[in-house]
Structure 1
Amino acid sequence: MDASLCLLWQYVFSPASIVGLIAFVLVFYVQQEYRNRQRYANIPPGPKPWPIVGNFGGFLVPSFILKRFAHNRKEFAKIVSNPLSPQAGLVEMSKLYGNIFSIFVGPQLMVVLTGYDAVRDAMLNHPEVFSDRPHIPLVTIITKRKGIVFAPYGPLWRTNRKFCHSTLRSFGFGKLSLEPCILEGLTMIKTELQSLIETAGPSGIDLTPLISNAVSNVISSLSLGQRFHHQDQEFRTMLDLMSHGLEISVNTSILLVNIFPWLYYLPCGVFKELRHAEIDITAFLKKIIARHRATLDPENPRDFIDMYLVEMLAKQKENNSEENLFSEDDLFYIIGDLFIAGTDTTTNSVLWSILYMSLYPDVQEKVQQEIDAVVGSERVPSLTDKGSLPYTEATIMEVQRMTVVVPLSIPHMASETTEFRGYTIPKGTVIIPNLWSVHRDPTVWENPDDFNPGRFLDEQGKLLRKDCFIPFGIGRRVCMGEQLAKMELFLMFTSLMQAFTFRLPEGKSTPSMHGRFGLTLAPCPFTSVIRDTAAMAFFTRQSIRTLSTSAALNAAIKHVTIIGGGLMGAGIAQVAASTGHSVVLVDTSEDILKKSTKGIEASLKRVAKKKFAEKPEDGEAFVQKVLKNVSTSSDAVSVVQDTDLVVEAIVENLKVKQDLFGALDKVAPERTIFASNTSSLPIADIASSTARLDRFGGLHFFNPVPMMKLVEVIKAPATSQQTFDALLEFSKALGKHPVSCKDTPGFIVNRLLVPYMMEAIRLHERGHGSKEDIDVAMKLGAGYPMGPFELLDYVGLDTSKFIIDGWHAMDPDNPLFAPSPLLNKLVSEGKLGKKTGQGFYKHK
């Protein structure tokens, strides 16, 4: 046996064998070089790769060897000297090779996009080519390329993303209705902090567990149907494992798995840590899915998991080609994606914001002053406050710009060989959009390395929206949870700033602002010294103001200002004046005001002719008495300085309404109630331009106002009960029958009526019935005075199109809000219904 081993040893390490091995390696290397030169003839420039490991060798080889032997040692030295910030190192490389350059990880070609222009061009102008996900061995081992985040671009991904988006929205995702769920977690944070402040020493408090738990419980409520206490050990362990897994997933040793996949299964070091994290997270989530499956009631789904299981069972029963698009395996990975995307990124954003406020106390103080002035201390901040807190929102955006929690995005892949900006991008190339570089791009940001919230404000202090601000990515792979993350970040930041002041412990070094690079960019560990900031002086002023406003609201509405002299505005003015109210009708056009006044007079004469048929002189007196209650003006600002109620009835354009109310809010008395007659726009959105969210509601009248008894009184989330009651009493004083409604799209009538009319159009479009037959059927079968097409022509096709387009933009996956090609065609041709002489029918 020993002799055999000796012979084998001599053979393997004989000069001939060694020479043969060297010759084989050389031939293989030359052959690969030849093939690569053919395939990569016109790729973007970049450093020359090392054999086998590619440019990854720059991270593995000691720097003293690089300086002596490595190709392109300057750019590698820059990255190696700053291993915590590879995104910045890649920017340094772009200065040598341009905004589009190539690197190799092993044999895999990667193209790095640097700066806003390159990223925008690739993601928006070439979405079909650059929306795929690469076959990265490490990702494939862990995710099986399932779920949403890492799934390949195709039918399965589109089906899952569409289902997730529509299902989560049905549970409040991205809507105001989710606010209480977020605030519940904030209440827990503030309660815990107030307790910890009393016992914390000068070393400060680590906020990470509290923030992480509050954020994760929002997505847990939506997807798992339950909340977890921050001390729940099993849940806490899962969150820690997710966070740690994301951090070590870009460890240099772990990245070697992409070159040598077998390394993942080594029973040691970070390989073992990542594998055990995967196993434990899998066990936790699969246990919850199994519990849902065992208690599933298809008629009453509780959360996202239930909805998915119901859909999966339905597809299985249908036994069609889509049955494989829904499986428990996919469900597991989707839930994992929701947790990772919905927890780690937002948690890190909140922590970064607290760290920056600790480092910039002047900014923190300015944010607190704005919150005190707008929100006060009696209530917690609401999403409806966003429009009134421009500096606060600008500060949040500046923190996001400085940190970019997913700095290198999730890698994309070229799904086919394509030409891009003069270069050939071969099929299968990994595309790295360097989002960090976009937000430090000196061509679009002035002094990009300076922390300056003012860059997001204009000269009047209003918030600026910038196309180059894309912390959630851009294109078809933009983060699905963007709206939820914005909601959470705004509410958590404003609530914490309202209640506490943060600073770093004295005597401790400032944490590195490079952060901890992982799949997400987390701040380096830090603690905060926290002070409870109960502003008693402001609280007293706010209480006095509240009491005086309350007293004013309890008084009856006598003086009314109507903004908008069109048919609706004139009708509201006539009814209000007829019931003894002092009315000012306002419009920028004197011609419209004259026409409106004549219209009111003519309408009143018709009423008087019927009501006082036997005593014409009483009828004339009635007309003159009512007309004395109506005056007109083209200057809204001067009129509202002494009015109890402003009712807006202008064009259905959100910005125009916001600008109007924003201007009036500055001059109207505190007692004045604002109301919009909008038929389709959210009251909360209109009110956001003012500082009187509690004194803002909706009064939706119906045309013709003097004849229609109904008024929809809308209570937005921030509308006070006193304001709502005042609007109800005002409607009754007009002789109307008010109905109450929450701030939901279309309120009651239009929410039911517009989808009804749209479905009638779709029936006609599909050839299932003529417009005449559909109208007759609904009049005779349902007892409606008008058929849907007659009603569409009466309402106005442009009005109906505007409403449905607005709803579709807010909820694109809702089939009730789908636009109609036929309606769009008629509107584009100017056939708007009765008012233009032709719509679905011709009118004389």
Structure 2
Amino acid sequence: MLLLGLLLLTALAGARLLWNKWKYRSLHLPPLAPGFLHLLQPDLPIYLLGLTQKLGPVYRLRLGLQDVVVLNSKRTIEEALIRRWVDFAGRPQMPSYKLVSQPYQDLSLGDYSLLWKAHKKLTRSALLLGIRNSMEPLVEQLTQEFCERMRAQAGTPVAIQKEFSFLTCSIICCLTFGDKVKEDTLVHAFHDCVQDLMKSWEHWFIQVLDIVPFLRFFPNPGLRRLKQALENRDRIVEKQLRQHKDSMVAGQWRDMTDYMLQGMGKPRAEKGHGRLLEGHVHMSVVDLFIGGTETTATTLSWAVAFLLHHPEIQQRLQEELDCELGPGASGSRVPLKDPARLPLLTATIAEVLRLRPVVPLALPHRTTRHSSILGYDIPEGTVVIPNLQGAHLDDTVWEQPHEFRPDRFLVPGTRPRVLAFGCGARVCLGEPLARLELFVVLARLLHAFTLLPPTGPLPSLRPRSHCGINLTMQPFQVRLGPRGAVAPGLSQHQ
């Protein structure tokens, strides 16, 4: 199937190239990179950044049957997504997106429209207003419980990525469905569902459909597995929605689902956008789980890996935490309202997000009308890829950009914006929650434990060569040494 697809792709790409040359003959388009198999390159964000040496920060390349525009600098990304946000707010409707979103478009993958704006407003309100009084206490509580579980494994190698994954899934479960879901059964069901769905969606059997759509008519075991994962996803979410509708009290909400179910029927300020239905709440829940579990867990894992390589930074962080929270694993509250009281921790999180933005190429945008970037014409309907990781490694903005140096964010007046969560109309809705989790979990973890490498080499800081949407890392283990108490057979200085 792959060989047939490549042969057909070559023929169609040639025909498409000739058509585009004629169609856009009068426009000043960005330069075109040669070739059309760019997706096969390992470390794709770094490869795309390398092309800027010859082509500049804005260029086109062929991905399958279409040309896409790649933005590789902070300046070009902000020009497109902030200053010209209306022009670049669309989302291409690729086969895999349509499959994952059926029958209602979700927020991450949905195209720009008035209905999409209303959907976004409802979900954002649920996150920032519906649970504003419970978010911080819940994250604190579940993180404390997480640290107690880790204390029971002190001194033994821990697969910390899996532990972070379950923690972030537990947080999303409780915020979305209420305290009643603290039972491990439901959390495990959602966790396994997200894992299976992401693994299925990122398989090359599915990714190739977005490049050569007609291959969906050929036998595809990956497509069958994805459909099964989607059916399981919808079954779990629908059950929770039914239970909420049966027990809901009008005018009161226990969690985000209650808030969204009661808010979907309220009149909106903008007319003509259509009506929000229960299916939109369904897809908001899906977005919260897909976008709010593995992404945050992966960022936490990268932070641990970097600190294992830089024990001097870890020691300074612990000194800062001891000064602010008191020595040892005390019960002092993390200063959530004033993160400036923990400046090094805030800077370390920013540096991890800069070096390892978990979605390094964001999700592709689509121009809603003719626009321009740096004087180049960008026609309506163009697919645009913001290379966030490339922008974070721009040596015209960042000094020694490949080095892990949290102190760069401690210098007053020299703090460029980190784009890890995107920007503009498509900025990640879960950014406030993700930043809260990163701050609380790392503060509690480093206050209670010293991160120690297991026997053998340190974890690799290189991402997996051929990753999907997320910038994943090689699995690794860490030993957690309780601070102020040494586990049997474990030295704090090992």
Q: TM-score of the superposition, structure 1-length normalised? A: 0.52
Corresponding residue of 1:443: 396
1:356 has 2:306 as partner: yes
Per the alignment, residue 118 of structure 1 pairs with: 76
Task: Say if 2:117 is the partner of 1:158.
Answer: yes
Q: Which residue of 2 aligns with 1:43?
A: 29
**8 Å CA contact retained: 1:394, 1:457:** yes
The within-5 A match list for 1:387-786 is 387-458=340-411, 466-508=415-457, 510-515=459-464, 517-534=467-484
The structure-2 alpha-carbon separation of the partners of 1:481 and 1:208, relative to structure 1 and needing over 3 Å to count, comes to same
| Aligned-residue CA RMSD (Å) | 2.8
Distance 1:167 1:245, change over 3 A: closer
> Is 1:339 aligned with 2:298?
no
Choose the corresponding residue for 2:97, options 119, 139, 143: 139
1:678-712, Cα deviation, whole Å (9 max, x unpaired): xxxxxxxxxxxxxxxxxxxxxxxxxxxxxxxxxxx
- 3-state DSSP class of the match of 2:51? helix
* SS of match in other structure, 2:284: helix
Structure 2 SS opposite 1:150? coil
Does 2:140 match 1:183? yes
State the Cα distance separating 1:122 from its structure 2 match: 1.2
Q: Deviations over 1:628-670 (max 9, x none)?
A: xxxxxxxxxxxxxxxxxxxxxxxxxxxxxxxxxxxxxxxxxxx
Q: CA deviation at 1:314?
A: 5.2
Match of 1:127 in 2: 85
Q: 1:262 to 1:274 in 2, by over 3 A?
A: farther
Query: Deviations along 1:582-610, whole A, 9 cap, x unmatched?
Result: xxxxxxxxxxxxxxxxxxxxxxxxxxxxx
Which residue does the alignment assign to 2:129? Answer: 170
For the residue of structure 2 that corresponds to 1:470, the secondary structure is coil
| One-letter amino acid of the structure 2 residue matched with residue 493 of structure 1 | L
Alignment: residue pair count: 470
Q: Counterpart amino acid of 2:151?
A: Q
TM-score (norm 2): 0.87
Looking at structure 2, the residues matched to 45 and 479 of structure 1 have their Cα atoms a distance apart, in angstroms, of 30
Within-5 A mapping of 1:13-28: none
Tell me how far apart the structure 1 counterparts of residues 376 and 199 of structure 2 sit (CA, whole Å). Answer: 34
Task: After superposing the two structures, state which structure 1 stretch, 285-294 or 253-262, moved more.
Answer: 253-262
Alpha-carbon distance in structure 1 between the residues aligned to 2:362 and 2:85: 15
Amino acid at match of 2:344: Y
Superposition deviation, residue 464 in structure 1: 5.8
1:298 aligns with 2:250: yes
Match for 1:449: what amino acid? H
User: In the TM superposition, what is the alpha-carbon distance from 1:240 to its structure 2 partner?
Assistant: 3.5
Shift of 1:299: 3.3
Q: Give me the whole-angstrom Cα distance separating, in 2, the residues matched to 1:413 and 1:406.
A: 17
Larger Rg: 1
- The letter of the residue matching 2:340 is G
| Distance verdict in 2 for CA 1:508–1:237, change over 3 Å | farther
Q: Which runs of 5+ in 1 are unaligned?
A: 1-24, 50-54, 61-78, 537-844
Structure 2 residue matching 1:501: 3-state secondary structure:
strand
Distance 2:167 2:459 in 1: 26
Q: 1:394 to 1:434 in 2, by over 3 A?
A: same
Q: What does 1:320-331 correspond to in 2, within 5 Å?
A: 324-331=274-281
Partner residue in 1 for 2:64: 106
AA paired with 1:273?
R
Q: Quick check: 2:356–2:471 contact (8 Å CA) kept in 1? A: yes
Amino acid at match of 2:439: F
Residue 535 of structure 1 deviates from its aligned partner by 7.2
Distance in 2 (CA, whole Å) between partners of 1:518 and 1:39 is: 33
The residue identity in structure 1 corresponding to 2:122 is F
CA contact 1:359–1:503 (8 Å) conserved in 2:
no
> Partners of 1:428 and 1:405 in 2: how far apart?
26
Matches within 5 A, 1:2-81: 32-41=16-25, 42-49=28-35, 55-56=36-37, 79=41
Distance 2:228 2:403 in 1: 41
Deviation at 1:323, TM superposition (A): 8.9
2:253 partner SS:
coil
AA in 2 matched with 1:188: E
Measure the CA separation in 2 of the matches of 1:90 and 1:524: 22
Q: Report the CA distance between 1:237 and its aligned residue.
A: 4.1
Relative distance call for 1:510 and 1:304 in structure 2 (3 A) is closer
Displacement, 1:264?
Answer: 4.9
Contact 1:349 1:405 in 2 (8 A): yes
Unaligned runs of 5+ in 2: 1-9, 487-494
Residue 321 (structure 2) aligns with: 371
Please give the secondary structure, in 2, of the residue aligned with 1:141. Answer: helix
Question: CA 1:371–1:31 in 2, change beyond 3 Å: closer, same or farther?
Answer: closer
Shift of 1:262: 5.4
Deviations 1:79-129 (A, max 9, x none): 3xxx2x111111112222111111122222210000111111111221110
- Residue 272 of structure 1 is matched in structure 2 by 224
Distance in 1 separating the partners of 2:197 and 2:261: 28
Over residues 228-261 of structure 1, what are the superposed CA-to-partner deviations in whole Å (9 max), with x where a residue is unaligned? 45842x5324323424533553443322111343
Following the alignment from structure 1 to structure 2, what is the Cα–Cα distance between the partners of residues 29 and 515? 29
Find the counterpart in structure 2 of residue 209 from structure 1: 162
What amino acid sits opposite 2:249 in the alignment? D
Shift in CA distance, 475/375, structure 1 to aligned 2, threshold 3 Å: same
* Cα shift readout 1:410-434 (whole Å, capped 9, x = no counterpart): 1111111223322221211111011
Q: Which amino acid letter does the alignment assign opposite residue 429 of structure 2?
A: M
In structure 2, relative to structure 1, the CA distance for the partners of 1:466 and 1:476 (3 Å cut) is: farther
Runs in 1 of length 4+ with deviation above 6 angstroms? 28-31, 320-323
1:136-156 deviations in Å (ceiling 9; x for gaps): 221112114612111111211
Q: Distance between the aligned counterparts of 2:53 and 2:213, measured in 1?
A: 33
Q: Using a 3 Å threshold, how does the CA distance of structure 1 residues 119 and 247 change in structure 2: closer, same or farther?
A: farther
CA 159–249 in structure 1, closer or farther in 2 if over 3 Å, else same:
same
> Residues 389, 294 of structure 1: CA spacing in aligned structure 2 closer, same or farther, 3 A cutoff?
same
Aligned twin of 1:89: 47
Give the % identical residues: 27
